[in-house]
Structure 1
């Protein structure tokens, strides 16, 4: 049985634990975030504020962070590989749009579910007679894909093994190759393809079924002081709620319209 003095000491220790737990849950009040500068409508460089990134993933992360009670700043860190390196090293805390990749599991904690999912579609000229509903249908036909289009690792392996694809620098060049008849088809995201088709006023169509559905995840650096179970749990909860409520789809639609408006400006169209 504890003496009165021992009881007081135990109570004092328990009281001291309360603020320390509170501090552990709230020690990270600001996240420095980066990601791809060329993945619209999910994430891309803000032409009005080039130091920052904008897009559906940015909006959804900001909404979740506000509800959690932390601040986020989405900064441009260079091309995709440079952004990844900034987060790997811990100079920045989080990637906002990274596909799940086994190679990155040694340096990043991926938050499930993904912020958004991209559907990779087969795009052809309207009236194209050949059915392109599966990967096997594309074998033996000349196609194109932008170097900026991200797919799942399994689909990337299938592409390299089975398809003849010309890799273009950006989406605009990829779609122009199809319009000009240089290729029979191209692979591109559903929303990016919709925007490019309207911008180029091209008579193109997507085949009915997506061939790939890469998820775009939030990923916290192992080297970030903010990487703690409380924050990972809160982000996972908010991503689940945003998806279930339809807010994720709304953010994609809203940012697709923003990107299409920017594409109408000659200065921005050349960078996509």
Structure 2
């Protein structure tokens, strides 16, 4: 019995040492079609850049650790990788109850985002509330959430198809295959501009305005109450210092530069 307890203690000590070393180096990812928040670097497509990547660098510096933020696949795949513990963080996710089963949300939120109904310039319609979408054909990007309240309403009342990529959703709207496209305002504008799509526009009334959170995998060996508290202290400091305002300004400039380079 004593020998077994000693072996157990040694095993636990070994795991703690391994976790301690592991918890100096982290991996993160996010929605790679999300400028100015996140997108794939033109220099290295396996690296994500943007305002959220800058925030992860800020957090890493404040904690004295390293965080590599890279591309692991489309948005749906990224959430699966987090659920399996293959990556530690998602740099930007809306809150939904189902997601809390596989990830811990870190507070406070670091950004408030606005989701719009996008329509064709040639086939606009009046929109002031969710009910105005009933009976119309919509599209959004697969595995996207726009806040739990809208997600639940849409599941019960709306017909919204799923596109693999943001560009596909915009092209479906442009080609009159759907009546509207649901997506966030800033990323939608960024991609429409880059793709030269000028005949779609967002309607004035938003679908939702949702806070954007940093989340951590429940399967991460580094996910402890103490470590989450340290991160949340950094997020509070970032909020007080308004660091995201500067990151967003820089990211918007970077995206415009990269988009103009792609068109050259």
What's the TM-score once normalised by structure 2's chain length?
A: 0.77
Q: Does 1:142 align with 2:109?
A: no
Cα deviation 1:96-152 (Å, max 9, x = unaligned): 223323233334321012233331111224486632121112223333323364322
CA distance in 1, matches of 2:204, 2:33: 25
**Structure 2 residue corresponding to 1:120, chosen from 115, 123, 143:** 115
SS where residue 209 of structure 2 aligns? Answer: coil
Residue 222 of structure 1 corresponds to 218
What's the TM-score once normalised by structure 1's chain length?
A: 0.75
SS where residue 71 of structure 2 aligns? Answer: coil
Q: Does 1:231 align with 2:227?
A: yes
Equivalent residue pairs, number: 244
CA distance in 1, matches of 2:54, 2:199: 32
Residue 71 of structure 1 corresponds to 66
> CA shift at 1:188, angstroms?
1.3
CA gap 1:249/1:208 in 2 versus in 1, 3 angstroms: farther
Q: Does 1:111 align with 2:106?
A: yes
SS where residue 27 of structure 2 aligns? Answer: strand
CA distance in 2, matches of 1:216, 1:195: 18
Q: Does 1:208 align with 2:204?
A: yes
CA distance in 2, matches of 1:250, 1:263: 20
Given that 1:38 and 1:148 are in contact with CA atoms closer than 8 Å, whether structure 2 keeps it comes out as no
Given that 2:173 and 2:181 are in contact with CA atoms closer than 8 Å, whether structure 1 keeps it comes out as yes
After the TM superposition, which of the residue ranges 57-66 and 89-98 deviates more from structure 2? 89-98
CA distance in 2, matches of 1:121, 1:247: 25
In the TM superposition, 1:1-272 aligns within 5 A as: 28-126=23-121, 130-147=125-142, 149-199=144-194, 200-264=196-260
Unpaired segments ≥5 residues, structure 2:
1-18
Given that 1:149 and 1:189 are in contact with CA atoms closer than 8 Å, whether structure 2 keeps it comes out as no
CA gap 1:168/1:82 in 2 versus in 1, 3 angstroms: closer
CA distance in 1, matches of 2:144, 2:87: 24
After the TM superposition, which of the residue ranges 166-175 and 64-73 deviates more from structure 2? 166-175
After the TM superposition, which of the residue ranges 109-118 and 142-151 deviates more from structure 2? 142-151
Given that 1:113 and 1:240 are in contact with CA atoms closer than 8 Å, whether structure 2 keeps it comes out as yes
SS where residue 118 of structure 1 aligns? Answer: strand
Q: Which has the larger radius of gyration?
A: 1
CA gap 1:261/1:162 in 2 versus in 1, 3 angstroms: farther
CA distance in 1, matches of 2:175, 2:87: 42
